[in-house]
Structure 1
Amino acid sequence: MVLSANVASAQTSSGGNNYFIYSMVAIAVFLFFYLVVQVSDNLMAIEAKQSGADKTGANFSLFPRIQELFAPSLPEYASNKNVHRLSKGHDILLQGVADKVIDEGVQATTFAVQPVNYRGIAPIPKMLVEVGAEVQAGDALFFDKNDPDTKYVAPVSGEVIAINRGAKRSITEVVILADKDQTYRQVDKVDPETASREELVSYLRETGLWPLINQRPFDVVADPNEVPRDIFISTFDTAPLAPDLELVVAGREASFQKGLDVLSKLTSGKVHLGLNAKGANPPAAVFSDASGVEKHWFHGKHPAGNVGVQIHHIAPLGTQDKVWTLGVQDVISIGEMFLEGKYNVERIVALTGYELNQPKYVRTYLGAKISDLIKDNVKSDKVRLISGDVLSGEKKNIDQFLNAKDDQLTVIEEGNDYELFGWLLPIEPRPSVSNTFPNFLYPDYAFKADTNTHGEKRAFVVTGQYEAVLPMDIYPQHLMKAILTNDFERMEGLGIHEVSEEDIALCEFVCTSKQPLQDILRKGQKMMLEQG
């Protein structure tokens, strides 16, 4: 700059030369301060990342993020809250939302306890009953041979009419024909305020409530010998056609709070509640005013309601960490035991999907038979029955039973017809993230879904599609490839401890290569478990 100034002084007047020098000095000062600010900003970001503070969702930068400048405004009830804004994700709007009325006329008569629903236990547990045995709700049916003190119990009273087996003689279902009037095994109530943690754990194992608790990583039945770092509960569900958990908890608020009180005694950390900051109305008071817990607000598209995504943004899992997760209705069942002294796994189930004549809510018990729930309510025989939602649920036939963790049954059209050049002839609207279809022009349009994948499995190429819809700081495509190559170190380094099938279900939906990502992830987690 000095050289330029000297050359300029030889060619111009002294006044012009002074202006040029001042301009150069001003630019130099600006560049100096810009570099200082930029370095400071980078140092702040590094410090936040090393301390883990960046996982809170706060902006540790001197400059606002673009999404903060153009982010949608928060509802008034969340305006003064520390909200985790998730910019990634995708909402799939489908026809067949359940009417927010509970149909008390639908009564299931057959129920099943399915050992395969409880990951981590032996495939052939030790049976305590035989076909023909009469049981009460809460009576022990079987236990894991590796953990004999944890009982798996009957959800209803009645007669054991079948013990069904699968591959290698594994037990798939213990089926109970329910009594018309339910009876319960009565147990002594325990006061969680005076009982020790060991007494509470023993009580939950003996009464059959322990299997309701999931442990992460790997979504297995909680280890009673572990003290979890934290416990997490999501109070809203963003999956397609998901049940309204505020309707589910209505009238059972005391049981939910009592369940939270019990859980707070079981962890060395905190019980965390994930609350919805996107709804038009504030969450129910039982959630927003819950005591003895730490509340966290989330605003975003699916999978914002997944407990795994919430864990990642609240307090992510380290390789040695253990945390527990429960559903809202699981917490209610635990509270019922401590209030009433009985094993009550009553469930409010959402019957959803376009192929139902009347999508609605029903009151039943854990493991209800599907045919009982949808009797005379299906439009045709060409349907897919799904225990859970369309992204992460399990295909069932009409004679099977809802899975233990599911409070939703989805019925959609079976798409077994071939569509020639379907992607070139976008005649019928369909759920898609591709701009080939003008879905982005109609954000509130609800689609009629079927099971067609509109493509076949092909080369597993890097596209960046998964990262665009997964609001987690991991690389799911690289993780999947590490699993396929049995690279344990890369699997661990790429975050296999942090994700569950429901977390990457949306990645599977957007996958151009049509890869079965949830099956791949489960295979990898099973390998990690076997390796200890």
Structure 2
Amino acid sequence: MAKVIKTKKGLALNLKGKPLQEMLSTPAQSPLYAVVPDDYQGIIPKVTARPGDKVRAGSALMYHKSYPEMLFTSPVSGEVVAVNRGAKRKVLSIEVRPDGLNEYEAFAVGDPASLSAEQIKQLLLSSGMWGFIRQRPYDIVALPDVTPRDIFVTANFTAPLAPDFGFIVQGEERALQTALNALTKLTTGKVYVGVQPGSKLDLKNVELYEVQGPHPAGNVGVLINHTVPVNRGETVWTLKATDLIVMGKFLLTGKVDFSRMIAMTGSDAAAHGYVRVMPGSNVFSIFNPLTIKPDHERVIDGNVFTGKKLTEAEPYLSAQCDQITVIPEGDDVDELFGWATPRLNQFSMSRAYFSWLQGKNKEYVLDARVKGGERAMIMSNEYDRVFPMDIFPEYLLKAIISFDIDKMEDLGIYEVAPEDFAVCEFVDTSKIELQRIVREGLDMLYKEMN
């Protein structure tokens, strides 16, 4: 029976465009698939593939310079057509044209119970599955030479318009349990799994926690903070249960199949439901139509708090994507007096707008406008009202901005990730990019400590 964690702080943002619990028609095949190094935080990519190379699904395209055994592999079989680079020859993407043959690299897998920890680790490293594993501190792809104290998994998605994991996991329970069995071999401690309230998941060999409360209750950081927080000198790994399904299917079949079920969401999405796609796909090519209007739409890989804007220049679905969100861009809106106009149809955390009179069940259509300019941070405790971790967010952010390492350590920098500050950023009247500040602070701290 799952233990219960209850949080009160947070924000349940009720947006229009929730996914219906039904499968949508299969999308078209993408003309190109891409592996994007920026999807894997903390790695230094070294490209092994060259244009013209023939590859299979699971063939290595690049590796981490500091850990050559950590490979990142092709999602499909076909031909490498381009290695795109930017400033200072930074690798932007490696593009593969599919051949339709669906050929796979062969991996000698087995029941995790009969494999050693080293064998499981080598399978994950060589197949490209290792990229799903993140570590704290620093919120980067996990370093394979460090054994984690514990491993934390979230199967509770609470962000706006988030997919229902209970629907996604139907028929995939065996793959999920297989991946969890493998994880238990890779830690000296326990595997903690956070599930949604009322979840019927029957998982073995793990510590099960039911996390109740508004977003970010489903974030793995909240699970860590309310169970076994991370102290200096300790390392823990974090994963999403949706990534574990992909990992588990690999351990069962030996085939590197990154395809996954994602949710189509958002007020301006052409359809709402679930669809199975291959990460690395060109989103604008496989969905027709994708939006209800051809212009003035923002397509987001992920949710509105932490997702990445997709454009014609960067159209590829990330490897860890669980939802696509489509909302109005807002660049065609011209309002009298702008955001200062009193109204009933706009959401606000304060009572400056009268929409609070309409109750919690009202669905809102929000666009991508910031509605204000950046200014100095106001110490008003507005972050603390939506931050359900035992950390002082305002003081930690100021320590990060000043890069005071001692204060950062004392205030809990080792157990946070940018996503933990997403709601704080949304409610921030100062319009400060808090997630960017935390990301840059973690990157600088990693360089300083290593």
Q: TM-score range by the shorter chain?
A: over 0.9
Aligned to 1:509: 426
SS at match of 2:22: strand
SS at match of 2:179: helix
- Note closer, same or farther for the CA distance 1:177–1:513 as it changes in structure 2 (3 Å cut): same
Q: Is residue 397 of structure 2 the alignment partner of residue 480 of structure 1? A: yes
Task: Kindly report which structure 2 residues correspond to 1:137-152, keeping only aligned pairs within 5 A, or say none.
Answer: 137-152=57-72
Residue deviations 1:85-132, cap 9 Å, x none? 10111111111112222224213323211111111211xx22221112
Q: Distance in 2 between matches of 1:167 and 1:130?
A: 19
Q: Is residue 339 of structure 2 the alignment partner of residue 426 of structure 1? A: no
1:91 aligned residue (1, 4, 12): 12
Q: Which amino acid aligns with 2:418?
A: E
Q: Is residue 309 of structure 2 the alignment partner of residue 392 of structure 1? A: no
Once the two structures are TM-superposed, the CA of residue 402 in structure 1 deviates from its matched residue by 1.7
Q: Is residue 132 of structure 2 the alignment partner of residue 212 of structure 1? A: yes
Q: Which amino acid aligns with 2:307?
A: G
Larger Rg: 1
Residue deviations 1:446-472, cap 9 Å, x none? 101101222111121201000000101
Q: Is residue 297 of structure 2 the alignment partner of residue 383 of structure 1? A: yes
Task: Kindly report which structure 2 residues correspond to 1:270-285, keeping only aligned pairs within 5 A, or say none.
Answer: 270-277=190-197, 282-283=198-199, 285=200
**Percent of residue pairs identical:** 39
Aligned to 2:270: 357
Q: Which amino acid aligns with 1:107?
A: A
Q: Is residue 214 of structure 2 the alignment partner of residue 297 of structure 1? A: no
- Note closer, same or farther for the CA distance 1:158–1:522 as it changes in structure 2 (3 Å cut): same
In angstroms, what is the RMSD of aligned CA positions? 1.6
SS at match of 1:90: coil
Aligned to 1:526: 443
Aligned to 1:346: 259
Which is bigger in relative contact order (C-alpha 8 A, separation at least 6)?
2
Q: Distance in 1 between matches of 2:442 and 2:290?
A: 38
Aligned to 1:127: 47
Check conservation: 2:260, 2:277, Cα contact below 8 A.
yes
Q: Distance in 2 between matches of 1:162 and 1:498?
A: 38
Q: Which amino acid aligns with 2:320?
A: K
Q: Distance in 1 between matches of 2:274 and 2:98?
A: 20
Once the two structures are TM-superposed, the CA of residue 531 in structure 1 deviates from its matched residue by 0.5
Q: Which amino acid aligns with 2:321?
A: D
Q: Is residue 142 of structure 2 the alignment partner of residue 202 of structure 1? A: no
Aligned to 1:108: 29
TM-score of the superposed pair, with normalisation by structure 1: 0.81
- Note closer, same or farther for the CA distance 1:354–1:169 as it changes in structure 2 (3 Å cut): same
Once the two structures are TM-superposed, the CA of residue 81 in structure 1 deviates from its matched residue by 5.7
Check conservation: 1:107, 1:363, Cα contact below 8 A.
no
Q: Distance in 2 between matches of 1:194 and 1:374?
A: 42
Q: Distance in 2 between matches of 1:300 and 1:497?
A: 24
| Alignment gaps of 5+ in structure 1 | 1-79
Q: Is residue 239 of structure 2 the alignment partner of residue 323 of structure 1? A: no
Structure 1 residue runs of 4 or more that deviate by more than 3 Å after TM superposition: 417-424, 438-441
Q: Is residue 371 of structure 2 the alignment partner of residue 454 of structure 1? A: yes
Q: Distance in 2 between matches of 1:187 and 1:449?
A: 46
Q: Is residue 353 of structure 2 the alignment partner of residue 437 of structure 1? A: yes
Q: Which amino acid aligns with 1:99?
A: L
Q: Distance in 2 between matches of 1:471 and 1:420?
A: 37
Q: Distance in 1 between matches of 2:130 and 2:99?
A: 25
1:185 aligned residue (102, 105, 126): 105
Q: Distance in 1 between matches of 2:220 and 2:117?
A: 24
Q: Distance in 2 between matches of 1:328 and 1:345?
A: 14
- Note closer, same or farther for the CA distance 1:531–1:204 as it changes in structure 2 (3 Å cut): same
Aligned to 1:59: none
SS at match of 1:163: strand
Q: Distance in 1 between matches of 2:343 and 2:114?
A: 65
Aligned to 2:317: 402
Aligned to 1:32: none
| Alignment gaps of 5+ in structure 2 | none
Aligned to 2:40: 118
Once the two structures are TM-superposed, the CA of residue 207 in structure 1 deviates from its matched residue by 2.0
Once the two structures are TM-superposed, the CA of residue 493 in structure 1 deviates from its matched residue by 1.3
Once the two structures are TM-superposed, the CA of residue 155 in structure 1 deviates from its matched residue by 1.2
SS at match of 2:226: helix
Check conservation: 1:419, 1:454, Cα contact below 8 A.
no
Check conservation: 1:83, 1:297, Cα contact below 8 A.
yes
SS at match of 1:190: coil
Q: Distance in 2 between matches of 1:155 and 1:453?
A: 36
- Note closer, same or farther for the CA distance 1:179–1:445 as it changes in structure 2 (3 Å cut): farther
Aligned to 1:161: 81
- Note closer, same or farther for the CA distance 1:332–1:490 as it changes in structure 2 (3 Å cut): same
Check conservation: 1:356, 1:411, Cα contact below 8 A.
yes
Check conservation: 1:107, 1:364, Cα contact below 8 A.
no
Q: Distance in 2 between matches of 1:212 and 1:522?
A: 18
- Of Structure 1 and Structure 2, which has the larger fraction of its residues in helix? 1
Q: Which amino acid aligns with 2:113?
A: E
SS at match of 2:166: helix
SS at match of 1:435: coil
- Note closer, same or farther for the CA distance 1:248–1:107 as it changes in structure 2 (3 Å cut): farther
Residue deviations 1:60-94, cap 9 Å, x none? xxxxxxxxxxxxxxxxxxxx864211011111111
Q: Which amino acid aligns with 1:202?
A: Q
Task: Kindly report which structure 2 residues correspond to 1:305-320, keeping only aligned pairs within 5 A, or say none.
Answer: 305-320=218-233
Give aligned pairs, total.
Answer: 444
Q: Distance in 2 between matches of 1:179 and 1:430?
A: 48
Aligned to 2:172: 252
Aligned to 1:242: 162
Once the two structures are TM-superposed, the CA of residue 195 in structure 1 deviates from its matched residue by 2.1
Check conservation: 1:385, 1:398, Cα contact below 8 A.
no
Residue deviations 1:279-329, cap 9 Å, x none? xxx31x4x2x11111101111011101111111111111111111111122
Q: Distance in 2 between matches of 1:295 and 1:519?
A: 32
Q: Distance in 2 between matches of 1:325 and 1:134?
A: 34
- Note closer, same or farther for the CA distance 1:81–1:160 as it changes in structure 2 (3 Å cut): closer
